[in-house]
């Protein structure tokens, strides 16, 4: 039973394309996140949703749009992909927005050519 799953695991695409990454958690958690990990392994929060409500929206280009159809799902859509978007994107969830540990998905390695 996978706690936090992401699809696809690998995504290779051309500049200018639009792509989506899906995330699902079966832990019954209220809060979900998207993180970007760059080539130097630096991990940065992008978005967070609590019970389908956007609560954290970092300085991310508006080409990135998260969508949470229900509290078990948080998808990330990226328009007009650029070379600099190449990274590993992690979805995560936590019981709530307070001081609980986050459970991470396996990551999606996005490569923009």
Looking at the Cβ atoms of 15 and 43, the one nearer to another protein is 43
Please identify, using beta-carbon distances, which residue of 19 and 97 lies nearer to another protein: 97
CA distance 74 to 32: 7
If one asks whether residue 41 binds another protein (CB under 8 A), the answer comes out as yes
Kindly give the pairing relationship between strand 53-57 and strand 43-50: antiparallel
- Per CB under 8 A, which of residues 56..75 are in contact with another protein? 56, 58
103 counts as binding another protein under rule CB under 8 A = yes
Comparing CB distances to another protein, the nearer of 2 and 20 is 2
The string of DSSP letters for 43-111 reads: EEEEEEEETTEEEEE-S--TTEEEEEEETTEEEEEE-S--GGG-EEEEEEEESSSSSPPPEE---EEEE
Residues making contact with another protein (CB under 8 A)? 33, 40-45, 48, 55-56, 58, 88, 90, 92, 97-99, 101-104, 106-107, 109
């Amino acid at each position: 039973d996978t706690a936090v799953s992401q699809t696809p695991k690998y995504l290779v695409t051309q500049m200018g394309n639009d792509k989506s990454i899906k995330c699902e958690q079966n832990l019954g958690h209220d809060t979900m996140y998207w993180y970007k990990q760059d080539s130097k392994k630096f991990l940065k929060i992008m978005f967070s949703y609590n019970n389908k409500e956007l609560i954290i929206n970092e300085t991310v280009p508006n080409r990135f749009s998260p969508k949470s159809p229900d509290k078990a799902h948080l998808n990330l859509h990226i328009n007009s992909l650029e070379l600099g978007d190449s990274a590993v994107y992690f979805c995560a969830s936590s019981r709530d927005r307070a001081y609980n540990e986050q459970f991470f998905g396996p990551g999606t390695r996005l490569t923009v050519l």
